Protein backbone atom coordinates (compact mmCIF):
# COMPACT_ATOMS: atom_id res chain seq x y z
CA UNK A 1 0.00 0.00 0.00
CA UNK A 2 2.84 2.35 0.80
CA UNK A 3 3.43 5.01 -1.85
CA UNK A 4 0.58 3.81 -4.05
CA UNK A 5 -1.36 7.05 -3.72
CA UNK A 6 -4.49 5.07 -3.03
CA UNK A 7 -6.76 6.60 -0.37
CA UNK A 8 -7.91 3.29 1.03
CA UNK A 9 -6.84 1.42 4.11
CA UNK A 10 -6.79 -2.36 4.14
CA UNK A 11 -9.06 -3.69 6.89
CA UNK A 12 -8.92 -7.39 6.09
CA UNK A 13 -8.01 -9.51 3.07
CA UNK A 14 -11.24 -8.90 1.23
CA UNK A 15 -12.44 -5.48 2.37
CA UNK A 16 -11.05 -1.97 2.53
CA UNK A 17 -12.28 1.36 3.89
CA UNK A 18 -12.13 4.56 1.90
CA UNK A 19 -10.48 7.14 4.15
CA UNK A 20 -11.94 10.00 2.13
CA UNK A 21 -15.50 8.71 2.06
CA UNK A 22 -18.34 11.00 3.10
CA UNK A 23 -18.02 11.61 6.84
CA UNK A 24 -21.77 11.29 7.47
CA UNK A 25 -21.79 7.84 5.90
CA UNK A 26 -19.17 6.65 8.36
CA UNK A 27 -20.84 8.32 11.36
CA UNK A 28 -24.11 6.49 10.76
CA UNK A 29 -22.40 3.22 11.61
CA UNK A 30 -20.76 4.42 14.82
CA UNK A 31 -22.81 5.57 17.79
CA UNK A 32 -20.62 7.77 19.96
CA UNK A 33 -21.16 9.09 23.44
CA UNK A 34 -21.23 12.87 23.84
CA UNK A 35 -17.83 14.22 24.79
CA UNK A 36 -17.42 15.27 28.39
CA UNK A 37 -15.91 18.76 28.41
CA UNK A 38 -14.56 18.57 31.94
CA UNK A 39 -12.32 15.92 33.44
CA UNK A 40 -14.23 16.01 36.73
CA UNK A 41 -17.75 17.20 37.26
CA UNK A 42 -18.43 20.04 39.71
CA UNK A 43 -19.84 17.70 42.33
CA UNK A 44 -16.59 15.74 42.55
CA UNK A 45 -14.42 18.85 42.52
CA UNK A 46 -16.25 20.41 45.45
CA UNK A 47 -15.85 17.25 47.52
CA UNK A 48 -12.02 17.46 47.28
CA UNK A 49 -11.78 20.87 48.95
CA UNK A 50 -10.62 20.33 52.55
CA UNK A 51 -12.76 22.03 55.17
CA UNK A 52 -10.33 21.47 58.04
CA UNK A 53 -6.54 21.22 58.30
CA UNK A 54 -5.07 18.04 56.87
CA UNK A 55 -3.70 15.53 59.32
CA UNK A 56 -0.54 13.59 58.55
CA UNK A 57 0.53 10.24 59.91
CA UNK A 58 3.61 10.02 62.12
CA UNK A 59 5.50 8.43 59.22
CA UNK A 60 4.60 11.29 56.89
CA UNK A 61 5.64 13.82 59.53
CA UNK A 62 9.01 12.07 59.79
CA UNK A 63 9.50 12.36 56.02
CA UNK A 64 8.61 16.05 56.10
CA UNK A 65 10.98 16.70 59.00
CA UNK A 66 13.86 14.76 57.41
CA UNK A 67 13.34 16.59 54.12
CA UNK A 68 13.24 19.93 55.92
CA UNK A 69 16.55 19.17 57.65
CA UNK A 70 18.18 18.22 54.35
CA UNK A 71 16.93 21.39 52.67
CA UNK A 72 18.13 23.52 55.58
CA UNK A 73 21.57 21.94 55.35
CA UNK A 74 21.77 22.61 51.60
CA UNK A 75 20.72 26.26 51.93
CA UNK A 76 23.17 26.80 54.79
CA UNK A 77 26.06 25.23 52.85
CA UNK A 78 25.41 26.52 49.33
CA UNK A 79 24.01 30.03 49.84
CA UNK A 80 27.37 31.73 49.23
CA UNK A 81 28.28 29.68 46.14
CA UNK A 82 27.86 30.86 42.55
CA UNK A 83 25.71 27.85 41.60
CA UNK A 84 23.29 28.35 44.55
CA UNK A 85 19.68 27.66 43.64
CA UNK A 86 17.17 29.02 46.17
CA UNK A 87 14.43 26.92 44.52
CA UNK A 88 16.42 23.69 44.60
CA UNK A 89 14.56 20.40 44.42
CA UNK A 90 15.84 17.16 45.94
CA UNK A 91 17.55 16.27 42.65
CA UNK A 92 19.38 19.61 42.64
CA UNK A 93 20.52 19.10 46.23
CA UNK A 94 21.78 15.60 45.44
CA UNK A 95 23.61 16.97 42.38
CA UNK A 96 25.23 19.68 44.50
CA UNK A 97 26.63 17.29 47.10
CA UNK A 98 27.25 14.15 45.01
CA UNK A 99 28.35 15.64 41.70
CA UNK A 100 28.47 13.84 38.35
CA UNK A 101 30.91 11.41 36.74
CA UNK A 102 32.59 11.76 33.33
CA UNK A 103 29.57 10.31 31.54
CA UNK A 104 27.19 12.81 33.13
CA UNK A 105 25.63 10.33 35.52
CA UNK A 106 25.13 11.38 39.15
CA UNK A 107 27.64 9.87 41.56
CA UNK A 108 26.32 7.60 44.33
CA UNK A 109 25.69 9.24 47.69
CA UNK A 110 28.68 7.42 49.19
CA UNK A 111 30.99 9.62 47.08
CA UNK A 112 29.68 12.82 48.68
CA UNK A 113 32.32 14.59 50.79
CA UNK A 114 29.87 16.13 53.28
CA UNK A 115 29.18 13.67 56.12
CA UNK A 116 26.25 15.72 57.46
CA UNK A 117 24.61 15.52 54.02
CA UNK A 118 25.03 11.73 53.93
CA UNK A 119 23.51 11.43 57.40
CA UNK A 120 20.51 13.60 56.54
CA UNK A 121 19.95 11.83 53.21
CA UNK A 122 20.09 8.48 55.00
CA UNK A 123 17.50 9.70 57.51
CA UNK A 124 15.24 10.88 54.68
CA UNK A 125 15.57 7.58 52.79
CA UNK A 126 14.81 5.60 55.96
CA UNK A 127 11.70 7.73 56.64
CA UNK A 128 10.57 7.33 53.02
CA UNK A 129 10.86 3.54 53.26
CA UNK A 130 8.83 3.50 56.47
CA UNK A 131 6.11 5.60 54.84
CA UNK A 132 6.14 3.36 51.76
CA UNK A 133 5.54 0.30 53.96
CA UNK A 134 2.53 1.96 55.54
CA UNK A 135 1.11 3.10 52.20
CA UNK A 136 1.67 -0.29 50.53
CA UNK A 137 -1.07 -1.88 52.64
CA UNK A 138 -3.60 0.74 51.56
CA UNK A 139 -2.57 0.50 47.90
CA UNK A 140 -3.78 -3.10 47.80
CA UNK A 141 -6.70 -2.53 50.19
CA UNK A 142 -8.17 0.18 47.94
CA UNK A 143 -7.20 -1.81 44.81
CA UNK A 144 -4.90 0.77 43.24
CA UNK A 145 -2.82 -2.29 42.35
CA UNK A 146 -3.96 -5.87 42.22
CA UNK A 147 -2.14 -8.41 44.41
- Domain-located, residue 129: yes
The count of domains in the chain is 1
In the beta sheet, which residues pair with residue 8?
A: 18
Q: What is the pLDDT of residues 34-48, one digit of tens each?
A: 555 555 555 555 566
- Domain-located, residue 53: no
- Domain-located, residue 30: no
Contact 67, 74 (CB under 8 A): no
- Domain-located, residue 115: yes
- Domain-located, residue 47: no
- Domain-located, residue 107: yes
Pairing between strand 16-18 and 8-10? Answer: antiparallel
- Domain-located, residue 65: yes
Domain limits at 73?
58-141
Q: What is the pLDDT of residues 65-85, one digit of tens each?
A: 999 999 999 999 999 999 899
- Domain-located, residue 48: no
Q: What is the pLDDT of residues 3-44, one digit of tens each?
A: 545 454 444 444 445 555 555 554 555 555 555 555 555 555
Amino acid sequence: MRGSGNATTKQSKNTSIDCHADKSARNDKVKSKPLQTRLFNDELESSFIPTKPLGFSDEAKEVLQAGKELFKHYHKQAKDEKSYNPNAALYDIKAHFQGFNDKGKMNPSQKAQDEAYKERLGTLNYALKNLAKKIEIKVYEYEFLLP
